[in-house]
Amino acid sequence: MKSQGQHWYSSSDKNCKVSFREKLLIIDSNLGVQDVENLKFLCIGLVPNKKLEKSSSASDVFEHLLAEDLLSEEDPFFLAELLYIIRQKKLLQHLNCTKEEVERLLPTRQRVSLFRNLLYELSEGIDSENLKDMIFLLKDSLPKTEMTSLSFLAFLEKQGKIDEDNLTCLEDLCKTVVPKLLRNIEKYKREKGNRATNGAPSLVSRGMQGASANTLNSETSTKRAAVYRMNRNHRGLCVIVNNHSFTSLKDRQGTHKDAEILSHVFQWLGFTVHIHNNVTKVEMEMVLQKQKCNPAHADGDCFVFCILTHGRFGAVYSSDEALIPIREIMSHFTALQCPRLAEKPKLFFIQACQGEEIQPSVSIEADALNPEQAPTSLQDSIPAEADFLLGLATVPGYVSFRHVEEGSWYIQSLCNHLKKLVPRHEDILSILTAVNDDVSRRVDKQGTKKQMPQPAFTLRKKLVFPVPLDALSL
Going by C-alpha positions, the residue among 387, 470, 361, 376 that lies closest to residue 423 is: 470
CA distance 272 to 279: 19
Q: Identify the three-state secondary structure at position 233.
A: coil
Closest CA to 187 of 134, 125, 117: 117
- Residue 318 and residue 284 in contact, taking contact as beta carbons nearer than 8 Å: yes
- Is residue 306 part of the annotated active site? The answer reads no
CA 467 vs. chain centroid, Å, equals 7
Whole-angstrom Cα Rg for the chain: 25
The answer to whether 451 touches 398, Cβ cutoff 8 Å, is yes
Is position 353 annotated as part of the catalytic site? yes
64, 94, 297, 310: the catalytic one is 310
What is the secondary structure of 433-457 as a DSSP string?
HHHHHHHHT---TTS------EEEE
Give DSSP secondary structure letters for 297-339.
GGGEEEEEEEEES-EETTEEE-TT--EEEHHHHHGGGSTTT-G
DSSP letter string over 29-52?
HT--HHHHHHHHHHTBTTB-HHHH
Return the bridge partners of 390, or none.
Answer: 348, 456
Of 353, 415, 417, 425, the catalytic one is 353
Contact criterion met (CB below 8 Å) for 160 and 302 = no
Nearest to 308 by CA among 381, 400, 397: 400
The span from the CA of 349 to the CA of 425, in Å, is: 20
Asked if 409 and 451 touch (Cβ cutoff 8 Å), the reply is yes
Q: How many Å apart are CA 449 and CA 63, to the nearest integer?
A: 37
| Beta-strand relationship, 454-457 and 388-392 | antiparallel
Find out whether 270 and 235 touch, Cβ atoms under 8 Å: yes
Q: What is the DSSP letter of 242?
A: E
| Backbone φ and ψ of 418, nearest 5° | -60, -45
Report the run of H or E that residue 106 belongs to, with start and end: helix 99-109
Annotated catalytic residues are: 310, 353
